[in-house]
Chains A and B, each alone.
Chain A
Amino acid sequence: MDFISILSIFVLACFVGYYVVWSVTPALHTPLMSVTNAISSVIVVGALIAAAAAGSPSSKWLGLGAVALASVNIFGGFAVTARMLAMYKKRERPDA
């Protein structure tokens, strides 16, 4: 992919993000933060490349460290979001 294609993806994704996030109900802003936190750990992709590559042991260790940190976030972030979302319940019966 050349730089212009990448930039196009980025700019369009910013617009998508803008409209999607405005549609999030304020009651769910805390889960929004924790889930965005979990997905920003997609940086693990870069960590995996470094961890798998041969050629530089120090780079490999940095990569493995980043994999561990990002994993805390991925598992912790999705799990805590799931825990929070499970608590949001509707009223059982409408009030008289």
Chain B
Amino acid sequence: MHEAVAQPAWALLAYLVAGICFILALRGLSKPDSSRRGNYTGMVGMAIAVATTLALQGFASIYEIAGAMLIGGAIGLVTARKIQMTAMPQLVAAFHSLVGMAAVLVGAAAYLNPEAFGIAVRVTPIASPSFVSIFPQSRIEMGLGVAIGAITFSGSVIAFLKLNGNMSGKPILLPLRHFINLGTLVAILGLIAYFTQDQSPWVFFTIAGLSFAIGFLLIIPIGGADMPVVISMLNSYSGWAAAAMGFTLHNSAMIITGALVGSSGAILSYIMCRAMNRSFISVIAGGFGAVASGGETAAIDRPYKRGSADDAAFLMKQAEQVIIVPGYGMAVAQAQHAVREMADQLKKEGVRVKYAIHPVAGRMPGHMNVLLAEANVPYDEVFELEDINSEFAQTDVAYVIGANDVTNPAAKSDKSSPIYGMPVLDVEKARTVLFVKRSMGGVGYAGIDNELFYRDNTMMLLGDAKKMTEEIVKALG
């Protein structure tokens, strides 16, 4: 217990206000209408936190700081403006890695100059030179902050490489990986405990080094479609890293924000896991989809119905209601604009059009919603799984584009299927299912065949998702 960071009352209040701004920023996201104001509130909170800190330091080194902010800010703004909406998952992963790295740098800076952070006392033993001793409690907080920051950094870098296609999305399985991971984790925790006894540089930098390694090891065995969980988890970590640094600095804005971001990421991970009917542990343990990938040959010869764009246009024109089911394939093909055009054409013909989104469709939570919003699809035509699933039975056509496993009826009936128990969209209950797919050869992410392809009421539309949809638009016009 120490009172080293004696901050003036106005500063404490200002940080509290900043923290409240951040709470309101998240609160604003409960509805699209209030979300923009929420985002501005967040900016105000950040401005307050930065201004307060600068003022507390008496604007020391202000030019260097302004320079650093200018460089960083310019890179951030240009990236934010140029990035394609389909690349959002990569961008978010990249941003997470920056928060992680910043936490590590702040931790290292605090370690090298603890007096500036008010977390140390100068000790002068008799007959030996004085030295700076960091408070034991601060050492734990600092160690945890650096460890979580480093894990966030290296984990996010791997997630980025996988999402960006620089690295295969397939899980990479090292032998004995559970053993190695567990050992490294135990070593990190042990070193943080030892750090309270010995503040030598090797302890600090070994904690950082091992944490970089474990972040890397934890993410490489996780496959592409588990990325929604991973990216939410890293989101959560970046929050906990900020909170740990907040404990070190006794800063309420950082602690409040860290707790908010930490719980936000944790809740999103939970929602994603539930949507895949998988436990968090099994996702983290990794390797999903690696086992079953040899199983695609068995089903290839089964008969299926194949249709053309004209057939699809004809069927949808006659329909009363069409539900569009987008998935990751739509993002890959950049087909969202074509889909919107198709929906517009159908609406002109008097057809009711809705969109159904599975929580894990795409590579991050809410991925499909953003793409549809980009294509000017009104958000009140877009429905979540539980809100629309009962409607498929009264729907004439379900248009599945780029989704696969999330529509597989085997999840409901086949106990031996790896996705058994996962909540799926009941597309097969629609009178006709139009399934857009590149070819019959490939299987979904889970590496299993989809029963749906061979049903009597399914018509396969084989081809590129975007081209196929554009052809349907032409056929409708």
Which chain B residues border A96 with CB–CB below 8 Å? Answer: 350
Q: Is the CB of A45 within 8 A of B53?
A: yes
Q: Is the CB of A38 within 8 A of B42?
A: yes
How many residue pairs bridge A and B at CB < 8 Å? 390
Tell me, yes or no, whether B221 is within 8 Å of chain A by CB: no
Q: Identify which of residues 31-59 in chain A touch chain B, using a CB-to-CB cut-off of 8 Å.
A: 31-56, 58-59
Shortest beta-carbon distance, B367 to chain A, in Å? 6
The CA of A22 and the CA of B260, in the complex, are separated in Å by: 12
Q: Is the CB of B57 within 8 A of A10?
A: no
Known: A2-B3, A71-B73, A72-B98. A42 touches B49 (CB 8 A): yes
Tell me, yes or no, whether B235 is within 8 Å of chain A by CB: yes
Chain A residue at minimum C-beta to C-beta distance from B103: A43
Q: Is the CB of B23 within 8 A of A55?
A: no
The one of B29, B32, B38, B102 in contact with A41, judged by C-beta atoms closer than 8 angstroms, is B102
Shortest beta-carbon distance, B95 to chain A, in Å? 5
**Stretch binding the partner chain, chosen from B61-69, B211-219, B309-317, B427-435:** B61-69
Q: Is the CB of A6 within 8 A of B76?
A: no
The CA of A64 and the CA of B106, in the complex, are separated in Å by: 9
Q: Identify which of residues 264-282 in chain B touch chain A, using a CB-to-CB cut-off of 8 Å.
A: 264-265, 267-268, 271
The CA of A6 and the CA of B65, in the complex, are separated in Å by: 28
The CA of A75 and the CA of B370, in the complex, are separated in Å by: 20
SS of A interface (majority): helix
Q: Is the CB of B39 within 8 A of A45?
A: no
Which chain A residues border B381 with CB–CB below 8 Å? Answer: 91
Q: Is the CB of B268 within 8 A of A70?
A: no
Question: Which of the four size classes fits the interface of chain B?
Answer: 35 or more
Which chain A residues border B39 with CB–CB below 8 Å? Answer: 31, 35, 78, 81-82, 85
Shortest beta-carbon distance, A17 to chain B, in Å? 3
Tell me, yes or no, whether B72 is within 8 Å of chain A by CB: yes
**Stretch binding the partner chain, chosen from B77-85, B161-169, B287-295, B322-330:** B77-85
Which chain B residues border A13 with CB–CB below 8 Å? Answer: 19, 23, 255-256, 258-260
Q: Is the CB of B72 within 8 A of A34?
A: no
Q: Is the CB of A75 within 8 A of B253?
A: no
Q: Is the CB of B239 within 8 A of A26?
A: no
Which chain B residues border A84 with CB–CB below 8 Å? Answer: 85, 88, 370, 373
Tell me, yes or no, whether B154 is within 8 Å of chain A by CB: no
The one of A43, A59, A74, A91 in contact with B245, judged by C-beta atoms closer than 8 angstroms, is A43
Could you pull out 25 A-B pairs where Cβ atoms are within 8 angstroms?
A: A1-B5, A13-B259, A30-B364, A40-B241, A44-B50, A44-B102, A45-B49, A50-B109, A53-B113, A53-B116, A56-B109, A60-B109, A67-B68, A68-B71, A70-B98, A72-B72, A73-B99, A74-B72, A75-B76, A76-B76, A77-B80, A78-B42, A80-B80, A85-B35, A90-B380
Q: Beyond the given A27-B382, A42-B49, could you list 12 further A-B residue pairs with CB under 8 A, ordered by the A residue number?
A: A6-B252, A26-B271, A26-B359, A31-B35, A37-B235, A40-B257, A46-B251, A60-B61, A64-B65, A69-B101, A75-B74, A75-B77
